[in-house]
Homo-oligomer: A and B are copies of this chain.
Amino acid sequence: MRRSREDAAETRRKIVDAAARLFRGRGIAGVGIADVMSALGMTVGGFYRHFASKDALVAEAIEAASVETTTGSRAFAHAVKGKAAAMIDGYLSRLHRDHPDNGCPVAALCTDVAHEKRATREVFTTALRRLVDTIAIAIPGDTKDARERRLFTAAALVGALVLSRATTDTDLADAVLDATRKQLRDV
In the bound complex, residues from chain B placing their C-beta under 8 Å from that of A142 are: none
A64 CB to closest chain B CB (Å) equals 18
A-B residue pairs in contact (CB < 8 Å), sample of 10 = A100-B114, A110-B166, A111-B162, A125-B166, A128-B166, A148-B179, A152-B160, A155-B160, A156-B159, A156-B180
In the bound complex, residues from chain B placing their C-beta under 8 Å from that of A167 are: 121, 124-125, 128
Number of interface residues of A (CB under 8 A): 52
The residue from B148, B158, B168, B178 contacting A163, defined by CB atoms under 8 A apart: B158
In the bound complex, residues from chain B placing their C-beta under 8 Å from that of A112 are: 27, 111-112
Q: How far is the CA of A88 from the CA of B163 in the complex (A)?
A: 18
Task: Find out whether the CB atom of B162 lies under 8 angstroms from the CB atom of A160.
Answer: no
